[in-house]
Structure 1
Amino acid sequence: MRRFELDPRLAADTGAIGTLGLCTLRLMNDRRWPWLILVPQRNDLSEIFELTPLDQTMLTFETNLVAEALKAETGAVKINVAALGNVVSMLHVHVVARNPGDANWPGPIWGHGTAEPYGTDELTETCERFARTILKA
């Protein structure tokens, strides 16, 4: 079995938080929204239905775990979950905390404005905070 390789675009646009059972968990480097990304550690897949039934179950479990923790951590009014893959085809799931008044509320986050990257220290600290909350690290 080939070692898992994260798409270089996902690696460039995110910070590493840690690994759950199936997925690697990452933070999108855009401070406008608390925005986490789950990437199933399976190469050459672009759709959820391509996962085995057990992996589909694990992805659902991990998505719900992350969504619940993100809502508790941020106090968000709404958690958006999506697996688009139109730009980066590698299977990944976006979990985004939304609140009235945030950038483009209530519209979608995709294609809205310009990303506002975290500073290097802030990205590291934010990833570590989510690791403590979600991974209990």
Structure 2
Amino acid sequence: MSHLRLEELSASTIVHVNSLGLKPGQEQFVSPVSYAAAAAVTPVHTAWQRVVLDDDRVVGFIHGNFDPDALQEEFKAALWRINVDAEAQGQGVGRFAVEALIEEARRRGVERLTVLWERGEDGPEQFFLRIGFKQVGETEYGEVIGAIDL
């Protein structure tokens, strides 16, 4: 995975993103309930969506959101979604994508990036903690609010 690069989500890559495979048990952790609720009122222009390619093969997707006017603090600068193909998990793809999002946040002058996740076996909690997110709270739906200070 030494040839990783980012590309903006496009019509030519979205089909591949939608075809990314997950390991058994991961489906239930793809998108926390709070994000679905927030998406209903979030302006589209705040999205930062990138695909991760290994050479020319789509191996991951990351969706960040930057909305300084968001009513809830956890949605002002957030990692909304990250998917890494099952075959590419454990090879640095997720870390590469999150580090790119962190760099984008720094470029925008953001001081804190947040992420939400659900606890559970096969969930993303250990990944987010290894990357450097710390648990700072919980949503009304029981999801963990994680944050990393930049």
> If the TM-score is normalised by the length of the shorter chain, which range does it land in?
0.3 to 0.5
Q: Which structure features the higher share of strand residues? A: 2
Q: Which has the higher contact order (CA 8 A, sep 6+)?
A: 1
